[in-house]
Structure formats: structure tokens, C-alpha cells
Copies of this chain bind each other. A is one copy, B any other.
Amino acid sequence: MRTPPGVSPSDFALAVAQFQAAVGPDWVFTSDEDLDLYKDAYSPFWGEPEEKIAYAAVAPQTVEEVQAVVRIANQYKVPLYPISTGKNLGYGGSAPVLSGSVVLDLKRMNRILEVNEKNAYALVEPGVSYFDLYRYIHERGLKVWIDCPDPGWGSVIGNAVDRGGGYTAAMFRNHFDAHCGMEVVLPTGDLLRTGMGAMPNAETWQMYKSGYGPWIDGLFSQSNFGVVTKMGIWLMPEPEAYLNGTVSVFGYDDLVPFIDILNQLENGQVFTGMPFLGSPVFSGIDPGDQMRPNNDPELAAILAAPGGPPKEALEAHSRKVGKGLWAAKLQFYGPEKVIRAQWEHCRERFSAIPGAVFEDGDLLRFPLAPDQLVNEHKVTFGIPNLSIFFIGARSETSPPGDGHIWFSPIIPRTAEAIFEAQRVFRDAADSLGLPMQPIALPSTYWQRAFIFIFGFPITHDIETNKKNRAAFRTLVKIAAEHGWGEYRTAPAYQDDIMDTYSFNDHALRRFHETVKDAVDPNGVISAGRYGIWPKHLRGTRA
């Protein structure tokens, strides 16, 4: 048995024995066969010595067992790496940031403690997946929706604390914002509840987020300050109906008023669904469609022009083939008469752009029949699934890879920023020898910012992975020079990204380190996660 960094073989043996006593011998894993399952399936270090590997795993079933494990870890200074379901491929999976850590696998804590239909919330443990929660609600016929990412096998808690997003109405798409109340095992093994849950017998733990005094929940997101063992999440009442509508424009510079109108409508909550942006002339505009280009050779020639595609050529081609150069698919949830009025108003507003073309989507009422779902993006209706795997890595529709990692910088929500980012990333891709779609449009998970999401392939060729890692790091730096930061990243790059948030000599990281040292004096929880290292490992930071 290998031993975690800084732990003697005898101490580790004692710790493992105590873990076994705490959770039962069946739930402590030390064999290679078992530990291989905790490897990152999309590891950019595949086959290299830097690959991040767990040296043991322990799977408690109760909060008390989590506390016991954390206390044992403190006694022997064993690094733990908590995961919920560990399924976030592309952002690190279940492998620890610090190789050799013991994975604290919370999959057995999978109780749905409450689903309140009238007040539209759930209280869950970290092992509860989107599938689990959906099934529970569906079996009982409750009229509430979950909001889930693509794909749906992940943890409701894990996704929220990693600040992931979904696809229904805006106030539910930001999963951290939609959470309400946490229970946390602190790095010392102490147990606290946040928000109203800090009051014994609280009646409003899942109804009022911030409680009294400092609101600390954010500390437990994208961090290593504690282990979240319960969390409330707000659900969306099942709407009466759903409608979408698509607006296309043909002028290159039309994107400027287009985005302004889009922002004003969304910020005024005239629509609450996620607007999908795309170039119909290049591909469909639903999520993932940008990875399935129509491969029009005439367009390909324009896009390949040195120095970037000339806008006149793009416009001429777009008009010739009768497909918009820029488009948005707007989505509406609510009573039929309301969403019809909302779409009508949106049409009126976008009509200010000469030549704008509109396409009405079908109106759907709930619940949907199974055949209605066949061609739909199921997460639009809060239905978890795994169909996302049919695009991207391991698919037939794009160059097959062995995995991917996401590069996901946040840029301003303006057309000017889109044009600049297209130019900057196109130039960078040219010099790095990467493929890059030069008129790619950003995603709109959040209401006030755009996110560009580029997938970097992970291969089973070490040299290619090395080259891609260097390219990723270069892109991070180029983005930061333009004031664009990533909102999350895989463990391989967590230090690199934190390095770019360097205002006032890295004041934010220094603050995190102060908090880390105070709440986790032995540095036992998730060493290195999001670029925060315990004191004794800080010198080893890349």
C-alpha cells in the first residue's frame, strides 16, 4: 500500500484501520482494482507520472461517519479528497488534486430527505444524483422540476458547490444561487449548519438563504474549506407551457443591436429560459450544434481566410444561402397566454433590426408524452439524461477523442466583446496550431455574462496531451491579458487559473490561505483544490 505524501506507512496503516472501524471494512478501498475507478477518465496526464491517483478511498454512509473519518484524518494528517459522485468529466472527475490523497467518497449518502412541492424545494445528501432526484419526484407525481446539467449522472450538491449550471429558467440555472442552506462537516470534524439551519428546529432552512450574520455558504463552493453533507435546492414549479422562437439576422454588425436587445429583454425578465446563440449559416444553434458544422465548403473557404473571415463575404454568403449569420433561440416557460405575449413582444423588439427573420417554435404543454421528447433537449424540461455523450468526446459526429477538458472564460455580455474574443482566440489558435471556429458564439448560462466554452481533446498520446496542456496554459494567459477569467477548471489547471486572479499581489488567494489555515490547520481537506494549498504544501505550488 502506497502512503499519502507526508504520512508514514505505520500512521497510514493505523488511519486505514480506524477508517475501517468507523465505516465498516467493506467501505475502505485500497486495492489497485478499486482505486482505478477513482482515476479521472479524462485525465490530461494519462500515462504520465503526474497522473493524479488516489491511494485509498473511504465511503461513509452518515454524517457521523464523515465526522469520524475527518477526525481520524486530522490525527494522522492524512489528506482527504471529498467527492459527491465524482462524475464531472471535463472538470476533473473523481481524482484528487493532490495525488496520493484518500478519496472521501460520499456516494452512499444518497438520501433525499425532503421534497416540498408547495414550497418547491428539496433537501438532499451529496450522493443524490439528478437521476435520483428526478425519479423520486416523478414517482410521486409532484409538480416540480429540477434543473440539471448535461449529463444527469452528477450530484445535485456537487454541481452546485462547483458552481455548475443547467438549462431551465434563469433563477434555477445557476445551481449555487438556487441552493438554500447547507450542513457542513468542517475540516476539524465539527458540524455546522448555515443560514436558518443554524437555529435548532429551524422551520425555514430551505426558505431563506442567508440567515443571520455573515453568510458563509460561498466559502464551501469551489473550495477546500469543508465537506457539504446536506443542501437545500430550490425547484421550479412545473409551468403550464413552453415555447421557443428563433431570431436571425444577416448583417455582421447587426450583432451589436442584437445583443443589446437580447440583454434588455433578459435583464427585464421578458424571457427566463436560456437563450441559445449561434450562426445558422455554420450549424444549428442548440447546445452542442456548434460541434456539428454543416461543412459548407464555400463557408469553410471564407472562414479560413488569413486574418479572419471578411465580414462582407460572411454577409453575402449568409444572404445567399438564406441562413442567418447570427441567431438566438429564445425560450419561454409559463402560462400559454403569457409566453405567447412574451414572444410577440420579443419579435417586436428585434424587428428594429432590418431584415431580422423569425421562426416560431412549437408550444408544448406539460407533462410531455414520451414521443414529444425524442427530438428535444431533455434538460430544457429538467429531465436528466446522458445523451450529451453523443456529441463531443467518444462520439461519431466530431473527431473522436478519448476525452476532453473545458476551457471556459467569461467575457462581457456585448457584441464588441464577442468580436474581440473571436479575433483573440482565432489568432491564438492559429499560433498554437489548434482548431478554432472563428465565428463561434458564447453560451448564456448566466444572465449577465457570456461564457465561451471550448473543448480541448484528451488523447491517449502523451506528446499530444503535453502539447495541449501547454496550449491550454497559453490560452489562459492570453485570456487574462484581456481581462477574461475562467469560472472553473479541471485540477490540472487550478493553480494556473488562480494565478491569473492576481489583483494586489494575489490578495484574494492570500485571503483564502488565511481562511484555510484557520479552518483547516492540519490541511486535511482537498489540498490544492482551486489553487488553495495548506501551509505545509504551499511551497510546492507550481
Using a CB–CB distance below 8 Å, which chain A residues touch chain B? 118-121, 163, 169, 171, 176-177, 180, 186, 190-194, 196-204, 206-208, 210-223, 225, 234, 236-237, 239, 260, 263-264, 267-270, 272, 333-335, 337-338, 340-342, 344-345, 410-414, 417, 446, 448-449, 480-489, 497-498, 500-504, 507-512, 514-515, 517-519, 530-532
Contacts and interface: CB of A to CB of B under 8 A. Distances in A.
Given A169-B269, A218-B217, A504-B190, A410 B210 contact: no
Contacts of A118: 260, 263-264, 414
B176 A215 contact: yes
Nearest to A517: B518
Contacts of A199: 480, 483, 485, 500-503
Nearest to A219: B214
A410 B531 CA distance: 38
A191 B511 CA distance: 10
Contact of A264 (B237, B341, B501): B237
Contacts of A272: 269
A495 B227 CA distance: 28
Given A171-B269, A268-B239, A268-B334, A511 B519 contact: yes
A242 B331 CA distance: 23
Nearest to A180: B448
Nearest to A194: B508
B221 A507 contact: no
A262 to B, nearest CB: 11
B510 A190 contact: yes
A204 to B, nearest CB: 5
Given A212-B487, A511-B216, A412 B203 contact: yes
Given A193-B507, A207-B410, 16 more contacts: A119-B412, A119-B448, A176-B210, A192-B503, A192-B507, A198-B503, A198-B507, A204-B410, A208-B487, A214-B220, A214-B222, A214-B532, A218-B218, A237-B268, A338-B341, A340-B341
B485 A212 contact: yes
Contacts of A510: 190, 192
Contacts of A504: 190-193
Contact of A120 (B202, B217, B267, B480): B267
A512 B213 contact: yes
Given A237-B268, A268-B239, A515-B515, A530 B486 contact: no
Nearest to A488: B212
A426 B201 CA distance: 21
A228 to B, nearest CB: 13
A207 B206 CA distance: 27
A334 B269 contact: yes
Contacts of A208: 410, 446, 448-449, 487
A515 to B, nearest CB: 6
Given A221-B215, A222-B212, A204 B517 contact: no
Contact of A204 (B177, B203, B212, B449): B449
Task: Name the residue in A197, A236, A511 with the highest tally of chain B Cβ atoms < 10 Å from its Cβ.
Answer: A511
14 contacts: A118-B260, A192-B507, A198-B502, A199-B485, A201-B482, A203-B483, A207-B412, A207-B449, A208-B446, A213-B508, A218-B218, A334-B345, A340-B341, A511-B519
A412 B203 CA distance: 6
A273 to B, nearest CB: 11
A64 B507 CA distance: 15
A501 B211 contact: yes
Task: Name the residue in A234, A267, A502 with the highest tally of chain B Cβ atoms < 10 Å from its Cβ.
Answer: A267
A503 B200 contact: yes
A214 B485 contact: no
A214 B225 contact: yes
A532 B204 CA distance: 23
B511 A515 contact: no
A207 B269 contact: no
Contacts of A211: 485, 487, 501, 508
B530 A212 contact: yes
Contacts of A519: 511, 514-515
A518 B119 CA distance: 39
Nearest to A265: B237
A434 to B, nearest CB: 23
A511 B186 contact: yes
B417 A203 contact: yes
A367 to B, nearest CB: 16
Contacts of A194: 508
